[in-house]
Amino acid sequence: MTSHHGTETEFELTTIERLQALDYKHLFGMEIVRPQDEVVLKDLLKAALIRRYPAVPTKAIDEAVAKISRPQGGRYHPAKHGFSPDARAGFRASH
């Protein structure tokens, strides 16, 4: 038997189990209907932001979705560095 103790696989499997315990449904990436270059599920993100922040105007929600789904930098790793501070401190949106 292969041990996955402390591996990325163990972390991933544990995270999936924890989310399933909270009634989240696990889907494999290829099962999700979306353009293959889209990492963020924009419709689900927008719906979640509207539920969480009902007083925020739609235009501001749309700006936040755009910024979250395509952070400056254009590539996955460099973009993460610019996204993380925004995610912690909040986003500025004109509305």
Written as tens digits, the pLDDT of the chain (95 aa) is 455 567 888 999 999 999 999 998 898 878 888 877 778 889 989 999 999 999 999 999 999 999 988 866 555 554 455 555 666 667 666 66
Q: Are 26 and 42 in a shared domain?
A: no
Q: Give the structural domain span for 89.
A: 33-95
Q: Are 53 and 78 in a shared domain?
A: yes
Q: Are 28 and 38 in a shared domain?
A: no
Sequence-distant (6+) residues with CB within 8 A of 77 are none
Q: Are 74 and 58 in a shared domain?
A: yes
Q: Are 52 and 65 in a shared domain?
A: yes
Sequence-distant (6+) residues with CB within 8 A of 58 are 50
The tokens of 83 are what? 């996204």
Q: How many domains does the chain have?
A: 2
pLDDT of residue 88: 64
The tokens of 68 are what? 């979250």
pLDDT of residue 28: 86
Dump strand ranges (E) for the chain: none
Q: Are 57 and 95 in a shared domain?
A: yes
d(CA 49, CA 46): 5
Give pTM, 2 decimals: 0.55
Length of the chain: 95
pLDDT of residue 11: 92
Q: Are 43 and 67 in a shared domain?
A: yes
Q: Are 19 and 65 in a shared domain?
A: no
d(CA 78, CA 71): 9
